Structure formats: C-alpha cells, structure tokens
Amino acid sequence: MSGEVSLGIPEMPAPDYPADVRARLENDAREVIARYPGSRSALLPLLHLVQSEEGYVTRTVIRFCAEVLDLTTAEVTAVATFYTMYRRKPSGEYQVGVCTNTLCAVMGGDAIFEELQQHLGIGNDETTADGKVTLEHIECNAACDFAPVVMVNWEFFDNQTPESAKAMVDDLIAGREVRPTRGAPLCGYRQTARILAGFPDEREGAVEAGGGAGPASLAGLKLHRGEVAAARVVPPRAEPAGTDVTEEDGE
C-alpha cells in the first residue's frame, strides 16, 4: 500500500489552550481585531500572533482563530495553507530563506542554496537537529537590486555569497551576534511573529534602524532626476561597432 500524502493540514477537532494562555491570547486578539472594520480582516495578523505563541500553525491555532473571528476551521485552514509565511510544522528559531527566483538564482542564489544544504546537512524546509535553523528556498523578496539575497526571519542579508551565507548560519547556530545588511537587528522567530502581528517592536534602536531603500534601489530614480549621467547599455551579444544602445536610443 502506498504511503499517505500529507498536505500539512492539521486534523480536527483540536484541543484548546490552557485557560491562562487562552485569556492572554484573547486579550491580544481583541487588540488586533479592533484595528479592522470587519473582524475577518484580522486573520492574517492573528495567524502571526498565534505563531508567536506556538511557533507554527497547529490545529489549536486553527481552532482559536476560527472561534475568535467567527469563521469555520476550513476558512482559516485555507488561508493558513495559502501563504508561505505560515509554518505548518515545528521549525527552527531562525528561518533562513534563500531567494532562488530568476535574478537571485543567476547571480548566485542557486549556488548558495545548494551549498547551505550541504553545509547544514538538511534539505528544503528542513530544520537542523539543534532546532536553530530552518532552511528554505523563497521567492522574490523585492530586493533584486541586492541579488543574491538571503532572508533570516524576514530581515535582509544582501549581496550574499556561499561563503558569507555559510559563515552567517554558523554564527546563528553558535549564538554569535548576526546583523542584517540593513534594517532592524535580528530576533528569534517567535518575536518576529509578534512584531508581524502588529505589536510594537520595543527593541532598542529597532524602529530607528529603518531599512529603507539602499543606493542600488535608488540608482534609477537618480538617473531619472538627472543626478547621475546616463550610462551606456551594451547589448549582451556583440553588435557591429557604433551600434551600442544608449539611454537616449532606448526612448
């Protein structure tokens, strides 16, 4: 008989939280729900909130969200299994995502992902035995101008190489400080999930750290404003002399 195929959907019925945990989560949930004109709109941040409690979407999570939002467990499950930011099984303290979308892939993302798998001894969506790192390949994170990009708990690590990525995960596993290339300092997955649920980031300097566009992102804007000279764009294949395409030609 062939083995069962798991879709990662929690089975129902689910156990409830202990009374004290439930009361605390309900309190937080009320705060989240109050931000929206319709309570069902709060489902995405609520799923982050409960991930900050359990680390992934358990069947108790599904039950809780359904009850506080007056949805069916099927409706909550449909959303939780659609978005990749919601985990369906226990995972690591640090979610290391390597962008393997087209631009990052050709700029080295595929090589980084391959070498990290070998270095950590795990495959895609697997976690190291110490529970520190979950490795996954991710889609474009809108940071293509810093390709190849690695995300750790959704913080940016730009312009990576296989060597820099391996050193970074070694530091994470060893508990050494790791700083993203830009933006707020790194924190554990559950703390990140609570921030994504919309609760204040109270870490010192985290809000001031910003994380806005870097020089590479602003190059096009500067070109448009005439703040830098237009560069010549050379076609990838050799053309007869004198036919190089310039910005002016491209208009």
Residues that bind ligand FES (CB under 6 A): 99, 101, 103-104, 140-141, 143-144, 147, 149
HEC string of 34-67? CCCCCHHHHHHHHHHHHHHHHCCCCHHHHHHHHH
CB of 96 to ligand FES, least distance (A): 14
CB 218 within 8 A of CB 243: no
CB of 223 to ligand FES, least distance (A): 20
CB of 137 to ligand FES, least distance (A): 10
Nearer to ligand FES among residue 14 and residue 140 (C-beta)? 140
Nearer to ligand FES among residue 69 and residue 143 (C-beta)? 143
Nearer to ligand FES among residue 101 and residue 181 (C-beta)? 101
Identify which of 221, 224, 243 has the alpha carbon closest to the alpha carbon of residue 232: 243
Nearer to ligand FES among residue 29 and residue 149 (C-beta)? 149
CB of 84 to ligand FES, least distance (A): 14
The tokens for 137 are: 């390949």
Distance CA 146, CA 31 (A): 37
The tokens for 79 are: 């959303």
